Structure 1
């Protein structure tokens, strides 16, 4: 009887140890393709918090171009945009808002959440189309300012070498992203607005936006 009881106790302890080890292992970042990425720290942090996912458990594909669906999902997840504070008579569906977005696919909810949190995505967008740097910046800033209820700020516009290439509708968002240091220009002060953004570049911006949001939520500057 004593032997049996000892075996039961040992088995229970072993199972507990294996369970804890398994949980720790599951929480460990598993992307094997970000070791040499300039966004390694940001990607790992976002993954650990459940804000980003890879193509599978091993691949984030940091240098791959970010699609509109991926970018919208990254923005809504990182900023935790949701419908929690909104009441509806009928539950919204993506296909009634966006011409080319299907219902019940992995990105449907992200588009709904973005739309109802003032992210100004065009109704005729293509979820598979690449996002440019100016587009992702504008959408990210719209989501950030909604999530944090930021005040209007008086900006002294930063000089941008290729400002003439920026679409005027994105200009304000880009300048605000520079003000909050979500974007940081290099020595050449170029923004490259029309360049398709990579998943790594987007992750860095999303990480910075999350930090700005958390600072605002911890010590709110009231909107006027």
Structure 2
């Protein structure tokens, strides 16, 4: 599998700085862009413009099909997800001390520094005028989303037809974005990871991700309520490149009528994936042999996460073996 970098897979663009600045400067106008008719992201773009997140390349043109540069893309992500400067995070120097090709006085300089302080994995030699690929933008967007806190998501594995073009880290983040419905594959299961991300696509992803971030909630208090101490086993095996299959088993259930359901998965910043499960009761009116049995359920996790099982009625169990 080829490892993607933020420099070699990017196409160079020559866009005047004044146009770049106009594309992401703050301040919204009262009218809609004139070149968005029929664009699927028209409503979302206008909403972001109204909120002062993005502007057009001119006063009335958005250029939805134009490619997004790193300068624009980083500003989109930092502004759209409201990332805050964190000088106490150790990134207190000038932006050019971290990214030599970023001018300290450029309109996008503060966005790059904020991205650095929030842990976004930008290549040191990133060219702010280079076009961002769809995979690069999605990867950084997912990393920005993770800074908003833990959030539950039930993971299923998406077979990405052109997934062999993705690095492990990008694949993990893309699986998360697909499971949260923040990005989609085409009808053939392709993501076109190396294609430049357009301004329309980037704006739509920013809008949806920002809305998702607003709704991030802490786990239900019932997950921490006292209850049954189930005996659980977690078996982790490699399912595909960058993806692990997790089989959760609850032992010593009273009879075969009891079942097991995975309610949600919460991904922590410490690379822990907490699998919340519930043991379902037997169907009323049915007779079951009174024999001790087991219940199992399967889910999928990005490679690198440690699985922990937790009943919504209490108990937890760390996963041995593969991470």
Fold shared by both chains (TM-score > 0.5): yes
- What is the distance in 2 between the residues matched to 1:123 and 1:91? 16
The residue aligned with 1:104 is 105
Q: Secondary structure at the match of 2:141?
A: helix
Verify the 8 A CA contact 2:68 2:131 in the aligned structure 1: yes
Name the structure, 1 or 2, with higher relative contact order (CA <8 Å, separation 6+): 1
Structure 1 segments unaligned to the other structure (5+ residues): 1-25
TM-score (normalizing by structure 2): 0.56
The residue aligned with 2:67 is 65
Alignment of structure 1 residues 59-138 onto 2, 5 Å: 59-83=61-85, 86-87=87-88, 91-138=92-139
Alignment of structure 1 residues 19-30 onto 2, 5 Å: 27-30=29-32
- What is the distance in 1 between the residues matched to 2:93 and 2:199? 28
- What is the distance in 1 between the residues matched to 2:91 and 2:66? 37
The residue aligned with 1:53 is 55
Offset at 1:220?
Answer: 3.0
- What is the distance in 2 between the residues matched to 1:48 and 1:220? 30
- Structure that is richer in helix per residue: 1
State the aligned residue count.
Answer: 195
The residue aligned with 2:239 is none
- What is the distance in 1 between the residues matched to 2:172 and 2:197? 19
Please give the root-mean-square deviation of Cα atoms over the aligned residues, in Å: 2.1
Offset at 1:43?
Answer: 0.4
- Structure that is richer in strand per residue: 2
- What is the distance in 2 between the residues matched to 1:45 and 1:142? 23
Structure 2 segments unaligned to the other structure (5+ residues): 1-27, 220-265, 273-323
The residue aligned with 2:44 is 42
Corresponding position: 1:211 with 2:211: yes
- What is the distance in 2 between the residues matched to 1:204 and 1:87? 32
Inter-CA distance 122–211: structure 2 relative to 1 (3 Å threshold): same
Q: Secondary structure at the match of 2:194?
A: coil
- Higher mean displacement: 180-189 or 110-119: 180-189
Verify the 8 A CA contact 2:153 2:180 in the aligned structure 1: no
Q: Deviations over 1:177-217 (max 9, x none)?
A: 1011110223211111111110001111111101110111x
- Higher mean displacement: 195-204 or 46-55: 46-55
Offset at 1:51?
Answer: 1.1
The residue aligned with 2:248 is none
- Higher mean displacement: 101-110 or 161-170: 161-170
- What is the distance in 2 between the residues matched to 1:142 and 1:43? 22
Verify the 8 A CA contact 1:68 1:129 in the aligned structure 2: yes
Offset at 1:162?
Answer: 1.2
Verify the 8 A CA contact 1:166 1:194 in the aligned structure 2: no
- What is the distance in 2 between the residues matched to 1:153 and 1:39? 25
Verify the 8 A CA contact 1:68 1:131 in the aligned structure 2: yes
Verify the 8 A CA contact 1:55 1:61 in the aligned structure 2: yes
